[in-house]
Structure formats: structure tokens, C-alpha cells
Amino acid sequence: MLSRVAESLYWMSRYLERAEHTARVIRVQLNLMLERETEDDDRHWKRMLKSLAVEMTDVKEGEAHAVANSLIHSTASRSSIISCIMAARENSRQVREQISSEMWEQLNRMFIEVKRADANEVSDVDDFLQAIKEGTHLFQGITDSTMTHGEGWQFIQAGRSLERAAALSTLLGVHFREFYGTDAEPEPLEWMGLLRSCTAFEAYCKAYTADLRPDRIAEFLMLSPSFPHSIRFSADALETALKQVGAEVSSRRSARVERIAGRMQATLAFGQIDEIMSGGLHAYLETVLRQCSQAHSALYQTYITYPIEAALQAS
């Protein structure tokens, strides 16, 4: 597979995951606003922006809401949902011949929808966000059932897993910093919001009942081996995808990137929540984030931007 193609598939997938994550987080936030004290609005919006890792150096008092709003349909912001969909579509356009026609058509349809929504001002934000979620889910289903589960598909999996692991780490970090170990005990509403932002509320209740306890929430969202929106699950998926890519390309050069993904997976697989909580949750999440970025760079150096001399020697 062409390096450029692998790169485009990887980013297409990351951008779609980002769009879906952003849509979900905003949707939960809008829902929570209905039940909160209005004077705290600004604080909540700011926290949400932070949890999405959106730069907000110049947000003035009382304007956080507007900034969050622009996260939906401002083409000026690169983190906005519409920008992510456009970037995903642009990446897939570059590799049209590599993905199935059905995938392209679905992504193109989403693009046409968000562009139309942008033109007419979204009348019902909730519907719009729901449509983004459903659109990306549909795209994922189409991808799984119409594309060969070969190298290209594995790069798509790698992109999504890496993006998800990083996004979850950021989201958890921001929430726990604000609500855990401080004097002000947060309302159960905030913990529910966190779980909902990861589509984890129902799954959590099945595992631990509706008794919302921070350490259990952390354990579930970080270490659950079977829940798709946990960091552990994403790390597993990332490792599997990279191993499969390595097997496909039969190149010794793949060892490094597999080692990095394997180490990240192992850290989570053998992690104990009580140790993590006592040893410092934030330091732990920082490590996960650092490993994500290492995996990303290693993937680039191995498959995409390798020096020509090295490749000539190897062949």
C-alpha cells in the first residue's frame, strides 16, 4: 500500500472519531445545562472546551458558550465538527479508489448534510448532533462490511483507536482534576455526564449498578477490557491493528511501533485502579497521552515518512 494512502486512511478515521466524540460531548453538555444553575454556565463551557483539548486562550467572560457553539459549525476552527467532517472527506477523496464506493457515498452524504446545515443555521442542534453520531456509526458499519479487512482497514482501526484513547485520556483528566479529591463534592449529575459522554452510562450500571463512585468510574473508563469506549479497549485495538499491519508488510522495520503499542497495552492490561488512584491519576493519564503520541510518531517513521536510504538498504 502506498504510504500516502495509509496516511490518508489513518487521518480520515481519526477525524471522524474526533467529530463523533465532539458531537457526543457537546450533546451531553447541552443536556446538563437544562438542570444546572445558570450562573455557572461559563465555568461548565470552559471545562468542556478544555476536555476537548480546544485552545481557548482568548475566551472572555460570558462568551464560552459562543465558543462552544462555534465548535459545531465554524469552518474557521479546525476542531469544529464541520471542519473534522470536511477533513475526513478530503482525506477519503484522496484515496477514493482504496475505499469502497459505499463508504465514499456515506461520507460524501454526511459532508453534504453538514454543509447544508451550515448554510441555513442549524435549527435543531440536538438533531444535528444526533445525525453526526448516527452518520459516523453508519460509516463504521459500512466500512466493516464493505471493505477488505486488509492493511488499509487496519490503518483505519489504528487511527480510530489512537484518537479515542487520546480523547478519553484528556476527557477523564479534566473531569477528575475538577471533581475528584477536592472539597466540593460534585453532584451525581456531573459523573453521569462524564459516563454519557463516553456512551458508558448504561454499561457502567450493568457492571456496578447505578451507584456512581469515582474510583469505579475511573476503573470502568480506563481499564475495562470489553467496553469499546475505554482506554484499555482502545489500546488493545490499536495494538492488534498495528500487529496486523506488521504481519501484512512483512518488514522488520515494524518492530519499533509494535513495541510501543504493546507497552501501552500492557500498562493498561496490568493496571490496578487502587494503585493508579494512589500513585496519581493525572500522572498516569499523562503517560497514556505520551504513549499515544509516541505510537503516532513511530507509525509515521515506520510506514509513512521513512528515509529513502533506509528503505533501499532493506529491500
Partner 1 sequence: MAGTVTQSALPAPFQDYGLDEAYDEMVAPDGTPRPHYEHLYQALRELPASEFRRRQQISDLSFLHQGITFTVYGRTEGTERIFPNDLLPRIITNEEWSHIEKGLAQRITALNLFLKDLYHEGRILNDGVVPRELVYSCKHFRRQMRGLYVRKDAYVTVAGTDLIRTPSGEFVVLEDNLRVPSGVSYMLVSRQVMKRIFPDLFRQCGVQGIEHYSQALLATLRALAPQGCAEPTIVLLTPGVYNSAYFEHAFLARQMGIELVEGRDLVAHDNFIYMRTTEGLRRVDVIYRRIDDDFIDPLAFRQDSSLGAPGLFNAYRAGNVSLANALGTGVADDKAVYAYVPAIIKYYLNEDPVLNNVETFQMSDAAERNRVLDHLEQYVVKAVGESGGYGMLIGPQSTAAERDEFRRRVEADPRNYIAQPTIMLSRAPCIIDGKVQPRHVDLRPYILFGEKITVVPGGLTRVALKKGSLVVNSSQGGGSKDTWVLH
Residues at the interface with partner 1 (CB under 8 A): 1-4, 6, 90, 93-94, 96-97, 101, 104-105, 108-109, 112, 151, 245, 249-251, 253, 303-304, 306, 308, 311-312, 314-315
User: Does residue 188 contact residue 13 with C-beta atoms inside 8 Å?
Assistant: no
CB of 45 to partner 1, least distance (A): 33
CB of 297 to partner 1, least distance (A): 16
CB of 248 to partner 1, least distance (A): 8
With respect to partner 1, which residue has the nearer C-beta, 96 or 290? 96
List the grid coordinates of 105. 457515498
- Looking at residue 300, the DSSP 8-state letter turns out to be I
Give the Cα separation of 245 and 262 in Å (integer): 14
Q: Which residue has the cell 515494524?
A: 254
Give the Cα separation of 27 and 174 in Å (integer): 18
CB of 101 to partner 1, least distance (A): 7
With respect to partner 1, which residue has the nearer C-beta, 105 or 126? 105
With respect to partner 1, which residue has the nearer C-beta, 210 or 311? 311
CB of 304 to partner 1, least distance (A): 8
With respect to partner 1, which residue has the nearer C-beta, 233 or 303? 303
With respect to partner 1, which residue has the nearer C-beta, 38 or 315? 315
CB of 257 to partner 1, least distance (A): 11
With respect to partner 1, which residue has the nearer C-beta, 66 or 314? 314
Which long-range contacts does 111-117 make (Cβ < 8 Å, 24+ apart)? 111/85, 111/86, 114/73, 114/81, 114/82, 114/85, 114/86, 115/82, 117/73
Give the ranges where 34-80 is alpha helix by DSSP (H).
Answer: 41-51, 64-73
List the grid coordinates of 156. 483505519
Give the Cα separation of 87 and 111 in Å (integer): 10
